């Protein structure tokens, strides 16, 4: 998967270059957002994304980049570095883990797999901590090549059809 991620990243360099120019022209600052997140076995890593917000507000170009998921392209670097997978639970910050109280022993299974660029919880249009955790734990228990294929197919449809209901 790491080689596949590198090939995709390289093939997307022209699009990434255009996105970088658009972000820079909009913000006059760094085009890459970096943040510490928690991954497999609760190990911290730095996630990379295209910047879409400034001063806690999504800027116009950022809104479009987010809508079609192009802000996630730099996370391919995280896959190449073996910190993430294409599919898995959303990588969270330590703050989010504390806020959601997902550091409890009964949630330990969530941390057995690498976080993903996409996953079941990321595909739903409902923002609910309990549902997200249920989706993450369902994924961990049922992880398979075919489940990943199904999630990736749905992810590719999100820019066209929007997010799905449970």
Residue-level pLDDT at 161: 66
d(CA 114, CA 40): 5
Return the pLDDT at 126. 72
| 159: alpha, beta or left? (left if phi > 0; alpha if psi -120 to 50) | alpha
pLDDT, residue 164, reads 62
pLDDT recorded at residue 157? 83
At a CB cut-off of 8 Å and minimum separation 6, what does 116 contact?
84, 85, 86, 87, 88, 89, 90, 91, 122
Contact indicator for 13, 77 with CB cutoff of 8 Å: no
At 125 the pLDDT is: 75
pLDDT at 92: 94
Q: What is the mean pLDDT of each run of 10 residues along the chain (166 residues)?
A: 95 97 94 97 97 93 90 97 96 93 87 95 81 92 96 84 59
Instruction: Give the pLDDT of residue 69.
Output: 87
At residue 158, the pLDDT reads 75
The pTM of the full predicted model, rounded to 2 decimals, is 0.90
pLDDT at 162: 61
pLDDT of residue 104: 86
pLDDT at 43: 96
């Amino acid at each position: 998967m790491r080689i596949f991620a590198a090939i995709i990243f390289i093939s997307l360099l022209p699009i990434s270059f255009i996105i970088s120019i658009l972000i820079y022209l909009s913000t006059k600052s760094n085009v890459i957002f970096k943040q510490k997140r928690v991954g497999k076995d609760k190990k911290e890593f730095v996630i990379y994304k295209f910047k879409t917000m400034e001063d806690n507000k999504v800027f116009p170009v950022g809104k479009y980049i987010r809508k079609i998921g192009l802000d996630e392209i730099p996370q391919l670097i995280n896959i190449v570095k073996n910190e993430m997978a294409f599919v898995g639970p959303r990588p969270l910050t330590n703050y989010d883990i504390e806020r959601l109280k997902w550091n409890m022993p009964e949630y330990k299974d969530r941390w057995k797999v690498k976080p993903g660029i996409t996953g079941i919880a990321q595909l739903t249009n409902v923002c609910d901590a309990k549902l997200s955790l249920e989706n993450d734990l369902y994924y961990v228990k049922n992880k398979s090549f075919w489940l990943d294929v199904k999630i990736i197919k749905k992810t590719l449809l999100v820019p066209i059809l929007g997010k799905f209901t449970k």
